[in-house]
Every structure is written in C-alpha cells, then in structure tokens.
C-alpha cells in the first residue's frame, strides 16, 4: 500500500519496523481476525503475521440544497406573448405547431411539446425570407437575341447577379432559388440540366455554366490583356472611359482572372497609364492618388465627375468676372 499510510500506522503503533509492516486495505468490517490469519497463512509469502490493529474511515455523505427560482405561470405567459409579438406571431401559430407535434408516434409531455414548438418557431423567424423587405428580385434573363422587352442582356444581368450573391446574407439554397427564378428559356434549360447532372451545384456554379453559354469566349488572360490595352479616346470624358474600363474589369473578374481585393488597384493603375496625357481631370486624379490607397469604383467616379464639373464651370466664372470688370 502507499508508504504514507504505512508511516501513519508505524506512528500510531510504536515499536513497529516500517520495513516489515504492511497494510491490508479494503477489508470489510464483518471479517474477523481468524479469517484474515487464515488467508495470510495460505499466502505464505508474508510468513508469520500479527495484526496490530484496524483503522476505519468514516465517510459522511452531505447533501447541500440549492434554491431554484421557478418562474411563475403568469410571468412565463407574459414573456412568451412578448416574444411572439416581437416576432409578429400569435399563440395560434404555436397551437398549430403543437397540433402537428401531437401526431408523432411518441407522445412527449406538454413541456417538451411547448419547447419543440417554440424552437421551431424561432428557427422560422430567424430564417431569411425569400421575398423579405430587403430582397430585390433579379432582372429576367433568357439568353434570346435580340433581347426581349423587359429582360436584360447577359453582361448586365451577370454583373448584377454576381454583386447580389456577395451581398445576400442567406444560405446557398436560397441563393440558388433566387437565381433560378430569374431565368427562363434557354438560360433556365442550362441551369436545369446542371441540377440534373450535379445536384450539389452551388449558385456560383450556375453562373459559371451561364458564363460558358452566353459570356465571352475569351479567356481570363485574354480579357486582362484587353483591359491593359484599353485607352482613353480623343474627345472621350474620363468618366466615360472609367465606366468602359470597369465593365471590362468585371468581365475579367467573372472569368476568375482577378480577385475582388485587387480590382481597385488594377483600376486606378490603368486609369493613370491609359488616360490621355493632356486630360486635366486625369492629371488631377494621378496627383491625388499617387501616394494614397487605391479608391473604390464609386469613390473614383465621384472624384472624376466633380473635377469634370469644375472644369466646365471655370470658363463661365472667368466670363462673369471679365464682364464685371468692364
């Protein structure tokens, strides 16, 4: 047994050599000394033994009571009604869930039914509605040429859909449903065929399939080369050049040729090198963002348009000033 227990026994019974003593543990109180002598004699390994005493450990099981606050029935009902009111639900909705739960083969008690019903109700309330107030349906696209009235061309539809897929805070199941409901004709047939061959296809897989069918046949590398060789034309405003450039940049992104995080830098770099050298707006933009972080598309377009308006107003200001002097 442990050396500490042997040491305690030696201390209690003076004159015992600890090297020749041992402790026999886990012996029931009803076992007599004669029985223990008999067992020890049969073991023979210990030799003649003498029992010096017994040590009994008394264990007391103490239970501590804790007070638990139980919510009153009225308090629970008021909280439940307040929760349902905030979620736009009534007790009738909970009753309907309880009725459907009672049809299960196993019949749990009322508390279990109520908990399950409230949990199901909370999940439904937290789920993103397909036609919620923050949801704007995608424009229709069929892939027909010429584009029918009320539909979008592929580039405009794909750009909007790509943006909305990043903005929607919902599951991919809802995203697939929203994309599918905006398609008809040949476009819907392509997505339908993809779902048959690959039931696990995501909303982005839908866009890739439509890009293959209706998008440009140029590769991402070819589109990037075209983007790098797109320059401002004589007489073209810088804002118009920026819009033309950004459309091509989004085509590169849809083909996987550039990441979203790198688009702002690529855009401002191409504006700096592709704009006309004598364009005053482009010169001001170069100086403004030479040492600044690259702006977003909306920030850059806003600055360009403000500069263009200022340049247009300068001749009028000079003309008014000259008239006032004369």
pLDDT attached to residue 20: 72
Identify the domain boundary among 187, 215, 243: 215
pLDDT digits (tens, 9 = 90+) for 28-55: 777 888 888 887 777 666 677 777 777 7
Q: Are residues 257 and 274 in the same domain?
A: yes
pLDDT attached to residue 324: 45
Q: Does residue 309 belong to any structural domain of this protein?
A: yes
Q: Are residues 170 and 236 in the same domain?
A: no
pLDDT attached to residue 37: 81
Q: Does residue 70 belong to any structural domain of this protein?
A: no
pLDDT attached to residue 66: 64
Question: pLDDT in tens for each of the 326 residues of the chain?
Answer: 455 555 665 556 556 666 777 777 777 777 888 888 887 777 666 677 777 777 766 666 656 666 656 555 566 777 777 777 776 666 666 666 555 545 545 555 656 766 676 666 655 555 545 455 556 788 899 989 888 888 888 888 988 888 888 888 888 888 999 999 999 999 999 999 999 999 999 998 999 899 888 888 888 899 999 999 999 999 999 999 999 999 899 889 888 889 989 999 999 999 999 999 999 999 999 888 888 899 999 999 999 999 999 888 876 544 444 444 44
Q: Are residues 107 and 147 in the same domain?
A: no
Q: Are residues 229 and 146 in the same domain?
A: no
Identify the domain boundary among 215, 230, 248: 215
Q: Does residue 141 sit in helix, strand or coil? A: strand
pLDDT attached to residue 190: 93
pLDDT attached to residue 325: 46
User: Is the Cβ–Cβ distance between 159 and 250 less than 8 Å?
Assistant: yes
Helices (H), 257-296: 263-274, 280-288
Domain that holds residue 27: 3-43
Q: Are residues 198 and 240 in the same domain?
A: no
Q: Are residues 190 and 247 in the same domain?
A: no
**CB count, 10 Å around CB of 31?**
12
pLDDT attached to residue 321: 41
Residues 144-176, buried b or exposed e (16+ Cβ, 10 A)? eeeeeeebbebeebbbbbbebbeebeeeeebbb
Q: Does residue 54 belong to any structural domain of this protein?
A: no
Q: Are residues 209 and 292 in the same domain?
A: no
Q: Does residue 29 belong to any structural domain of this protein?
A: yes
Q: Are residues 118 and 202 in the same domain?
A: no
Q: Does residue 263 belong to any structural domain of this protein?
A: yes
pLDDT digits (tens, 9 = 90+) for 66-115: 665 655 556 677 777 777 777 666 666 666 655 554 554 555 565 676 66
Q: Does residue 178 belong to any structural domain of this protein?
A: yes
Tell me how far the alpha carbon of residue 41 is from its chain's centroid.
73
pLDDT attached to residue 132: 55
Q: Are residues 146 and 104 in the same domain?
A: no
Q: Are residues 94 and 179 in the same domain?
A: no
CATH number at residue 199: 1.10.1200
Q: Does residue 72 belong to any structural domain of this protein?
A: no
Domain count, the chain: 4
Q: Are residues 158 and 247 in the same domain?
A: no
User: Is the Cβ–Cβ distance between 234 and 276 less than 8 Å?
Assistant: yes
pLDDT attached to residue 106: 52
Identify the domain boundary among 73, 102, 126: 126
Q: Does residue 109 belong to any structural domain of this protein?
A: yes
Q: Are residues 111 and 194 in the same domain?
A: no
């Amino acid at each position: 047994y442990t050396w500490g227990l042997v040491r305690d026994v030696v201390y209690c019974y003076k004159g015992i050599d600890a090297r020749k003593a041992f402790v026999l543990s886990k012996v029931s109180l009803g076992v007599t000394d004669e029985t223990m002598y008999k067992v020890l004699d049969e073991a023979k390994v210990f030799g003649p033994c003498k029992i010096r005493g017994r040590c009994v450990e008394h264990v007391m099981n103490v239970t501590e009571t804790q007070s638990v606050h139980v919510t009153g029935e009225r308090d629970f009902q008021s909280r439940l009604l307040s929760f349902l009111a905030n979620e736009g639900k009534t007790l009738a909705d909970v009753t309907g869930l309880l009725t459907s739960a009672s049809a299960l083969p196993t019949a749990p008690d009322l508390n279990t039914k109520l908990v399950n019903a409230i949990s199901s109700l909370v999940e439904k309330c937290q789920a993103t509605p397909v036609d919620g107030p923050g949801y704007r349906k995608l424009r229709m696209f069929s892939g027909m040429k010429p584009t029918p009235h009320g539909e979008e061309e592929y580039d405009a539809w794909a750009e909007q859909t790509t943006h909305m897929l990043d903005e929607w805070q919902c599951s991919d199941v809802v995203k697939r449903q929203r994309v599918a409901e905006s398609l008809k004709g040949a476009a819907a047939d392509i997505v339908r065929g993809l779902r048959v061959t690959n039931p696990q296809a995501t909303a982005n897989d839908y866009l890739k399939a439509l890009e293959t069918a209706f998008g440009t046949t140029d590769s991402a590398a070819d589109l990037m080369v075209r983007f790098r060789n797109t320059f401002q034309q004589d007489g073209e405003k810088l804002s118009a050049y920026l819009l033309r450039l950004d459309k091509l940049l989004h085509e590169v992104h849809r083909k996987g040729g550039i990441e979203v995080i790198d688009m702002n830098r690529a855009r401002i770099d191409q504006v700096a090198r592709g704009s006309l050298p004598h364009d005053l707006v482009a010169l001001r933009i170069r100086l403004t963002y030479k040492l600044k972080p690259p702006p977003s598309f909306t920030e850059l377009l806003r600055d360009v348009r403000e500069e263009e308006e200022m340049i247009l107003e300068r001749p009028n200001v000079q003309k008014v000033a000259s008239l006032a002097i004369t």
